[in-house]
A = this chain, B = another copy of it.
Amino acid sequence: MSLPHAILTALLEKPSSGLELTRRFDRSIGYFWSSTHQQIYRELGKLEEAGRIRALPTATPARGQKKEYEVLPAGREELAAWVALPEDPRPVRDPLLLRMRAAAVVGASGMGAELRRHLALHERQLAEYREIEERDFTPAPTTDEGRLRYLVLRGGIDLETFWIGWLTRAIADLDG
């Protein structure tokens, strides 16, 4: 239920075309709510039909032609209402932890290499977050908006740090 809200947020940050949104769902906003271009185009259509966003009149509405969207007041209200709504954390669904549990039953051959591979991936992601931190949040932000965005980034940093710590320990445990 959150994809439309992710899109509204991204469009409020900056009016964009579908492809631009897709690119931002591969970095920025997509670090916390991932999506594909197919889902994004479909959802843009729904949001437009529902009167939450509109296509800027700059472009002709033909296939293959760029179409920019901006958020309408109804869209901003909808987003503000969603932000105010309580919502429980999602139950965890993690394939690696599940795989480890399965490995406890059928044997853990090859798990070591897989854990090291994941460790490298998480280290790369952490490095990316650190770059963003240095580029966008040094010195520390002073506005409310900046502080909130920094908190979100730190969520990503802490999450990757958790994975790196756990994986490192798991690798040591399996070897020793």
Contact = CB atoms under 8 A, between A and B. Distances in A.
Interface in A136-160: 144-149, 151-152, 154-156, 158-159
Interface string A16-34: 0000000000000111111
B97 A32 contact: yes
B90 A29 contact: no
Contacts of A13: 105
Given A32-B93, A98-B5, A106-B80, A158 B162 contact: yes
Contacts of A65: none
A92 interface: yes
A34 B118 CA distance: 22
- Could you tell me the dominant secondary structure of chain A's interface residues? helix
Nearest to A9: B102
B102 A82 contact: yes
A109 interface: yes
Given A80-B106, A106-B79, A162-B162, A98 B148 contact: no
B83 A33 contact: no
A168 to B, nearest CB: 11
A46 interface: no
A5 B104 CA distance: 13
Interface in A1-19: 2, 5-6, 8-9, 12-13
A132 interface: no
